[in-house]
């Protein structure tokens, strides 16, 4: 099975366009309100910024301050889960996510991120219920990303029908969701629905920078449709942009399916 687009689903909602992390200082911030919950919130947000910038050690320091301020603030433990997940410490990551969910069982972001953790650690069927739990929260602002993640995890266990349904639901809510566009395009290609597959991958390549996977899919669709000029154009892009990719190596070997 082709590599699945990871879709950046791991990050907390709203992390796109994260500003640079501030200079490190885990002491009291200027203007910081003394309320323990507010202090925990501020330092958890700082930890999220450091996490997004790859500074996991400082993120952990900020989370320790947050937890010391209010040990029952669920997002702190959810953020711990993401940091430990990035550090490949599965035991601590799972314990952190589980504690976060005990404190806030309906939190959309925490359910989504725990679902993604389960999907990445070989428990794909179990992961789906957490994505669906996130979606059930009426205040969760990005249900399409959880539908898309559920689709990716269903594909990993070859549950193609379920995956197809999840991707379709994601795209009804957010027509430009990149992972759903690409993965549903791959499903349509395997079904022989080349016209729909072509539309989906073209949309993907318009809304985000093309990937080796998306260029390879587009190339094979044009080849199947007999459009040699378009096929060659995608081959040229694949060679120019991703000469070391497995997709370009497959092209050189003539392994199209």
**Residue 181 pLDDT > 60, yes or no?**
yes
What's the distance, Cα to Cα, between the start and end of the chain in Å?
10
Q: Calculate what percentage of the chain has a pLDDT beyond 70.
A: 87
Segments making up each domain of the chain, as ranges: 35-104, 106-174, 194-257
- For residue range 30-45, list pLDDT tens digits in order: 445 579 999 999 999 9
**Residue 4 pLDDT > 90, yes or no?**
no
pTM for this entry: 0.83
Q: Which two tokens stand for residue 210?
A: 């093309």
**Cα separation, 216 vs 231, whole angstroms:** 10
Q: Which pLDDT does position 33 carry in this prediction?
A: 54
CA 179, 183, 185 angle in degrees (round to 5)? Answer: 120
Q: Which CATH number fits domain 106-174: 3.20.20.60, 1.10.606.20, 3.40.190.10, 1.25.40.10?
A: 1.25.40.10
Average pLDDT over residues 83-107: 97
CATH of domain 35-104: 1.25.40.10
Q: Do domains 35-104 and 106-174 have the same CATH topology?
A: yes
C-beta separation of 51 from 79 below 8 A: yes
C-beta separation of 223 from 194 below 8 A: no
- For residue range 119-139, list pLDDT tens digits in order: 999 999 999 999 999 999 999
């Amino acid at each position: 099975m082709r590599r699945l687009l990871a879709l950046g689903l791991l990050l907390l909602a709203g992390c796109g366009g994260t500003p640079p992390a501030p200079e490190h200082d885990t002491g009291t911030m200027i203007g910081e309100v003394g309320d323990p919950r507010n202090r925990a919130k501020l330092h958890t947000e700082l930890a999220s910024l450091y996490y997004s910038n790859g500074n996991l050690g400082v993120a952990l320091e900020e989370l320790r301050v947050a937890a010391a301020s209010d040990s029952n603030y669920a997002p702190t433990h959810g953020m711990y889960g993401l940091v430990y997940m990035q550090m490949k410490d599965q035991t601590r990551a799972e314990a952190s996510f589980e504690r976060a969910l005990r404190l806030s069982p309906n939190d959309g972001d925490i359910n989504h991120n725990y679902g993604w953790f389960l999907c990445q650690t070989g428990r794909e069927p179990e992961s789906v219920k957490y994505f669906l739990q996130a979606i059930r929260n009426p205040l969760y602002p990005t249900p399409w990303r959880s539908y898309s993640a559920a689709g990716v995890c269903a594909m990993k266990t070859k549950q193609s029908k379920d995956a197809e349904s999840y991707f379709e639901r994601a795209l009804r809510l957010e027509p430009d969701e990149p992972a759903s566009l690409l993965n549903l395009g791959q499903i349509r290609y395997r079904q022989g629905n080349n016209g729909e597959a072509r539309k989906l991958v073209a949309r993907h390549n318009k809304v985000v920078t093309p990937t080796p996977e998306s260029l390879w899919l587009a190339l094979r669709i044009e080849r199947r449709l007999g459009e040699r000029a378009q096929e060659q154009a995608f081959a040229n892009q694949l060679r120019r942009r991703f000469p070391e990719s497995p997709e370009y190596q497959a092209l050189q070997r003539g392994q199209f399916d």
